[in-house]
Amino acid sequence: MLDYHLHLWPHSERETPHSLEQIAAYCEKAQAAGVEELALTEHLFRFRQADALLGGFWNDDSVSPGLARSMEDYWDFHATTDLDTYVTLAAEAQAAGLPVVIGLEVDFYQGRMDDVAALLSGYPFDVLLGSVHWLGAWRFDDLDDPVSMGEWSAREVDACWETYTAALEELAASGTCDVLAHPDLIKVAGYRPDSTVEWWDRMAEAAAKAGMAAEVSSAGWRKPAAEQYPALGLLSRFAAAGVPVTTASDAHRLEHVADHADGLRDVLASAGVDALQGYTARVPRPVAIGVPPTVSPGRSVPPTVSPGRSVPPTVSPGRSVPPDESSVA
Ligand SMILES: [Zn+2]
Ligand SMILES: [Zn+2]
């Protein structure tokens, strides 16, 4: 198993020094859950280099000045550290023998992915995740932000899914990234169209055409969506289209590393997925799903779900999650 989506910072923290000890603790927690390999994938927008390159992109969205102001504040809070320092630390973790690959979670910037690719080409990344976190200046996944969440009642759900899917298609076609992270993140706040079939078909086709993998993530179980990303129907489409998959927790702190690994095993089995894909220097390689670790006496059993079933939601649509790292993906 893999945990190929890990952050070193909670969103609530502006600047926290990273350390090898933190990464070693992530690895230990993962290995106890039968997860042998990790990818460190901090958000691109955490770094000053991203701010220098992309800052102000929110002004392209002239429709929503309130959202643009909110995004400007969000970037000001988050884009505070140095990409070189992060990559150096990840490389040091590798050199120290920790089972990690060097990655990044790259956000989608409409019309600007060539600039993003040029910036990232200078770094020794093993894997790049591609994520659609916002549509224009709208952070549709920021459950703690009332301005962003208020937007859900001002827009048609179908139109949101359409715009999200078009963004995902452009992201995939750009060739900038290797893995589509949380592919149906647009469901995060619990708003779904009556039928998702058209958008699922397009998402699977976009990944297949671009030669990208798709991430199977337990993070959705911690959100109002109350379901892994992607939904089983979308995962089955990825499998049918020959799209390889990774597994991931999207943890932003130790507590969630390898979260619901057994639940993800069940989901993979339900979709008939029997292998994963890892990356070295952005070259894919097969990785075994492996077997769950034996539970020894005195250790708590990790939470599991039955095949095809979601775990019970911890929050309902429209309610904000507690103010921790899990508010955004
Ligand atoms: Zn994300
Ligand atoms: Zn993430």
> Does residue 291 contact residue 34 with C-beta atoms inside 8 Å?
yes
Position 143: which residue type?
Answer: L
* 299 Cα: distance to centroid of ligand 1 (angstroms): 31
Handedness of CA 253, 128, 213, 140 (dihedral sign): positive
* 28 Cα: distance to centroid of ligand 2 (angstroms): 20
Please check the confidence at residue 56 and state whether its pLDDT lies above 70.
yes
* 296 Cα: distance to centroid of ligand 1 (angstroms): 34
* 295 Cα: distance to centroid of ligand 1 (angstroms): 31
Look-up: residue for tokens 């715009």? 163
Please check the confidence at residue 239 and state whether its pLDDT lies above 70.
yes
Look-up: residue for tokens 């379901």? 227
Residue 327: per-residue pLDDT:
59
Q: Among candidates 318, 311, 74, which has minimal Cα distance to 189?
A: 318
Q: Which of 47-51, 94-98, 322-326 has the lowest mean pLDDT?
A: 322-326
d(CA 219, CA 256): 9
Please check the confidence at residue 302 and state whether its pLDDT lies above 70.
no
**What is the overall mean pLDDT for the chain?**
90
* 328 Cα: distance to centroid of ligand 1 (angstroms): 7
> Does residue 81 contact residue 52 with C-beta atoms inside 8 Å?
no
Judged by its nearest atom, the ligand closest to the C-alpha of residue 141 is 1
Give the residue with greater pLDDT, 122 vs 325. Answer: 122
* 125 Cα: distance to centroid of ligand 2 (angstroms): 16
Please check the confidence at residue 136 and state whether its pLDDT lies above 80.
yes
Q: What integer is the mean pLDDT of 130-138?
A: 95
> Does residue 40 contact residue 93 with C-beta atoms inside 8 Å?
yes
* 297 Cα: distance to centroid of ligand 2 (angstroms): 33
pTM exceeding the 0.85 threshold for the entire prediction: yes
Q: What confidence tens digit (pLDDT) does each residue in 217-229 have? A: 999 999 999 999 9
Q: Which of 119-128, 211-220, 295-304 has the lowest mean pLDDT?
A: 295-304
* 107 Cα: distance to centroid of ligand 2 (angstroms): 10
Q: What integer is the mean pLDDT of 151-174?
A: 97
Q: Determine the Cα angle at 310 with ends 242 and 152, to 5°.
A: 90
Position 269: which residue type?
Answer: A
Q: What is the DSSP letter of 14?
A: S
Residue 45: per-residue pLDDT:
95
Q: Among candidates 179, 276, 192, 254, which has minimal Cα distance to 9?
A: 254
Residue 294: per-residue pLDDT:
77
Count of other CB atoms within 10 angstroms of residue 116: 23
Residues 6+ apart with CB under 8 A from 119: 49, 50, 53
Residue 218: per-residue pLDDT:
98
Residue 308: per-residue pLDDT:
41
Residue 80: per-residue pLDDT:
87
Q: What is the DSSP letter of 182?
A: S
* 194 Cα: distance to centroid of ligand 1 (angstroms): 25
